[in-house]
């Protein structure tokens, strides 16, 4: 099952996007390969065996770096020895607790899975051994350099990972082509807007944006599109409005309940 649950696409000579196109939310993880080690940014839903998918691509030691701890980004974390997380109490607790199948709940409804896949009662095991990082930290892993940018809003401890040597930034669930979730518990649309603005400020030299859902890669225009949506909300208070040609819109506490 693992091989066909995932869709792997090379988006850079050092970056393999590992998408889950048979789940309605089309989550994407990214395997970044350096000279001596690899980094896996997020681990997906856990429905497929992402450990096997990664092992098929690299024999190097793998460090998992999590953009945030919603279940669909940490599902396969148990397959890896080393995990890095932003130092935030909500994110720490959520990773430590993991998710029961009832907590995953409606996100596993059969209608969210494309045939021939049928959801089983799967859980996300917790783990409390994450190495914690902070805003501005520069991670050096096996010859790869990643800079931590705290980008809260979707969740309080969300982080983006800037890879200046590769001209890439992984943005987790802050920016993607679809409804932007600023309405979940712990989300904050004011912080969200500030984080998108902050991301706009680090785009010099970046030509590859790696979103957590709906596409394996994008250009910097995706961040600018998000900024338009957030700025529109800041100026008018109107959310859930699509600006331009994409599917991007902002869901806040007002629209999302």
Given the rule CB under 5 A, which residues bind Zn ion?
A: 70, 173
Which one, of 144, 181, 176, 178, lies nearest residue 161 by Cα? Answer: 144
H or E stretch at 19: strand 15-19
Phi, psi for residue 180 in degrees, rounded to 5: -85, 125
Which one, of 197, 208, 128, 136, lies nearest residue 167 by Cα? Answer: 208
- Other CB atoms within 10 Å distance of the CB of residue 93: 12
Nearer to Zn ion, 57 or 123 (CB): 123
Nearer to Zn ion, 173 or 239 (CB): 173
Kindly state the smallest distance separating residue 158's Cβ from Zn ion, in Å: 8
Kindly state the smallest distance separating residue 137's Cβ from Zn ion, in Å: 21
- Helices then strands, counting H and E runs in the chain, come out as 8, 14
* 3-class DSSP assignment, residue 78: helix
Kindly state the smallest distance separating residue 154's Cβ from Zn ion, in Å: 6
* 3-class DSSP assignment, residue 73: helix
Nearer to Zn ion, 183 or 217 (CB): 183
Closest residue by beta carbon to Zn ion: 70
Kindly state the smallest distance separating residue 25's Cβ from Zn ion, in Å: 9
Nearer to Zn ion, 133 or 174 (CB): 174
Nearer to Zn ion, 12 or 154 (CB): 154
Kindly state the smallest distance separating residue 27's Cβ from Zn ion, in Å: 9
Phi, psi for residue 112 in degrees, rounded to 5: -90, -5
H or E stretch at 74: helix 71-74
């Amino acid at each position: 099952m693992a091989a066909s649950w995932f869709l792997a696409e090379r988006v850079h000579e050092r970056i393999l996007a590992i998408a889950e196109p048979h789940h309605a939310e089309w989550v994407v993880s990214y395997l970044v390969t350096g000279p001596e080690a690899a980094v896996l940014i997020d681990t997906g839903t856990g429905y497929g065996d992402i450990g096997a998918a990664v092992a098929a691509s690299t024999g190097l030691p793998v460090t998992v770096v999590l953009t945030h701890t919603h279940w669909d980004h940490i599902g396969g974390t148990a397959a890896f020895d080393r995990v890095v997380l932003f130092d935030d109490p909500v994110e720490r607790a959520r990773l430590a607790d993991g998710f029961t199948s009832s907590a995953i709940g409606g996100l596993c409804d059969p209608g969210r899975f494309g045939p021939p896949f049928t959801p089983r009662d799967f859980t996300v095991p917790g783990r409390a051994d994450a190495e914690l990082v902070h805003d501005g930290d520069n991670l050096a892993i096996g010859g790869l350099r990643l800079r931590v940018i705290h980008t809260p809003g979707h969740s309080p401890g969300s982080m983006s990972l800037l890879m200046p040597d590769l001209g890439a930034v992984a943005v987790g669930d802050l920016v993607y082509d679809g409804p932007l979730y600023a309405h979940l518990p712990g989300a904050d649309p004011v912080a969200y807007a500030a984080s998108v603005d902050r991301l706009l400020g680090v785009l010099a030299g970046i030509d590859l944006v790696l979103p957590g859902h709906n596409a394996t890669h994008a250009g910097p225009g995706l961040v600018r599109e998000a900024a338009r949506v957030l700025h529109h909300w800041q100026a008018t208070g109107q959310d859930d409005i699509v600006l331009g040609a994409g599917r991007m819109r902002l869901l806040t506490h007002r629209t999302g309940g």
